[in-house]
A and B are shown apart, each in its own frame.
Chain A
Amino acid sequence: MSSEALARPLWRRLIGFNLLGGIVLGVAGFYFGWWLGHQIHAESLDFFGDTNQNDVALMLGYVFSVVGFLIGLGFARYPLARMLGKERTHTENEHGGSGRYFGLCTDHKVVGVQYLCGIGLFFFIGGLNAMLIRAELLQPSPQIFGAGNYLTLVGLHGTMMMGIMTSGVLGPFANYFVPLMIGARRMAFPRVEAITFWLLMAAGAILMTTLFFGGFPTGWTGYAPLNDQANFGFDSYIFFFALVGLSMMLLGLNMIATIITMRAPGLTWSRLPIFCWGAISTSILMVLAAPVLIAALLMVGFDRAVQTSFFLSSAGGSPYLFQNLFWFFGHPEVYVLALPGFGIILEILPVFARKPLWGYRIAVAGILGVALLSFFVWQHHLFVSGLNSSLRPFYMFSTEAISVPTGLVFLAGMATLWRAKIRYTVPMLFCLAWFFNFFIGGASGVFLSDVPSDVATHGSFFVMAHFHYTIMGGLIFAFFAAIYYWVPKMFGVMLSERLGKIHFWAMFIAFNSTFAPLFALGLMGQPRRVVTYPSHLEPLNIWVSVSAFVLGASMLVFLANVVYSLVFVRKPAPDNPWDSRSLEWQTPTPVPIENFERRPIIDTDPYDYGVPPVPLVPPGPAEAPAPG
Chain B
Amino acid sequence: MSDAPTQTPADGYAETPELHERIDRIGFGLVGGATVMFFLGFVFAYFYLRSLDNNSLWRPAGVEPPDGYGIAIAAALALSAAAFGYAARVAKRGESGWVAASGLALVLGLFACVAQCFEYAHIPFGPESGGYASVFFGWTALYVVVTLIALWRVETIFAVGLRHHGEVGAAVPEGFVPGATYWALLAAIGVLAWVVLYLL
Interaction A to B: yes
Binding site for B on A (CB under 8 A): 77-79, 81-95, 185-186, 188-189, 249, 252-253, 256-257, 260-262, 287-292, 294-296, 298-299, 302-303, 306-310, 313-318, 320-321, 324-325, 593-594, 597-599, 620
Q: A94 to B5, alpha carbons, bound, how many Å?
A: 11
Q: A298 to B2, alpha carbons, bound, how many Å?
A: 37
Nearest chain B CB to A322 CB, angstrom units: 10
Q: Is the CB of B134 within 8 A of A310?
A: yes
Provide the B121-139 mask, 1 if CB < 8 A to any CB of A, else 0.
0000011101111110110
**Taking A85-B160, A294-B38 as contacts, is the C-beta distance between A261 and B26 under 8 angstroms?**
yes
Q: A185-B6, A303-B134 are in contact. List 11 more A-B contacts (CB 8 A).
A: A84-B163, A185-B7, A296-B41, A307-B128, A308-B127, A309-B134, A310-B134, A316-B60, A318-B54, A598-B13, A599-B12
Residue of B nearest to A303 (CB): B134
Of the candidates A88, A189, A291, A597, the one whose C-beta lies within 8 Å of that of B38 is: A291
Q: Tell me if B114 counts as interface (CB < 8 A to partner A).
A: no
Chain B residues positioned under 8 Å from A253 (CB to CB): 27, 30-31, 34
Q: Tell me if B22 counts as interface (CB < 8 A to partner A).
A: yes
Majority DSSP secondary structure for residues of B touching A: helix
Q: Tell me if B196 counts as interface (CB < 8 A to partner A).
A: no
Q: Tell me if B67 counts as interface (CB < 8 A to partner A).
A: no
Chain B residues positioned under 8 Å from A256 (CB to CB): 26, 30
Please name 30 pairs of A and B residues whose Cβ atoms are closer than 8 Å in the assembled complex, sorted by A. Answer: A83-B159, A84-B159, A85-B164, A88-B20, A88-B173, A91-B5, A189-B23, A261-B19, A261-B26, A287-B34, A291-B38, A292-B37, A292-B41, A295-B40, A295-B41, A299-B138, A309-B134, A310-B45, A310-B138, A314-B57, A316-B58, A316-B131, A316-B132, A317-B134, A318-B48, A318-B49, A318-B54, A321-B48, A598-B13, A599-B12
Chain B residues positioned under 8 Å from A290 (CB to CB): 34
**Taking A92-B2, A94-B6, A295-B38 as contacts, is the C-beta distance between A315 and B128 under 8 angstroms?**
yes
Q: Is the CB of A257 within 8 A of B133?
A: no
Residue of B nearest to A89 (CB): B3
Binding site for A on B (CB under 8 A): 1-7, 11-13, 15, 19-20, 22-23, 26-27, 30-31, 33-35, 37-42, 44-45, 48-49, 52-55, 57-60, 126-128, 130-135, 137-138, 141-142, 152, 155-156, 159-164, 173-174
Residue of A nearest to B159 (CB): A85
Of the candidates A78, A186, A313, A597, the one whose C-beta lies within 8 Å of that of B55 is: A313
Q: Is the CB of B57 within 8 A of A87?
A: no
Q: Is the CB of B30 within 8 A of A257?
A: yes
Nearest chain A CB to B177 CB, angstrom units: 15
Nearest chain B CB to A583 CB, angstrom units: 15
Of the candidates A82, A89, A288, A307, the one whose C-beta lies within 8 Å of that of B34 is: A288
Residue of B nearest to A104 (CB): B1
Chain B residues positioned under 8 Å from A318 (CB to CB): 48-49, 52, 54, 131
Residue of A nearest to B51 (CB): A318
Q: Is the CB of B11 within 8 A of A85?
A: no
**Taking A85-B159, A306-B127, A594-B6 as contacts, is the C-beta distance between A78 and B1 under 8 angstroms?**
yes
Q: Is the CB of B38 within 8 A of A185?
A: no
Q: Is the CB of A292 within 8 A of B40?
A: yes
Of the candidates A89, A325, A599, the one whose C-beta lies within 8 Å of that of B41 is: A325
Nearest chain A CB to B192 CB, angstrom units: 15
Q: Is the CB of B3 within 8 A of A287?
A: no
Q: Is the CB of B155 within 8 A of A83?
A: yes
Q: A90 to B175, alpha carbons, bound, how many Å?
A: 14
Q: A287 to B33, alpha carbons, bound, how many Å?
A: 8
Residue of B nearest to A264 (CB): B12
Chain B residues positioned under 8 Å from A188 (CB to CB): 23, 26-27
Of the candidates B33, B134, B164, the one whose C-beta lies within 8 Å of that of A316 is: B134
Which of A260, A306, A308: most chain B Cβ within 10 A?
A308
Which of B19, B20, B48: most chain A Cβ within 10 A?
B48
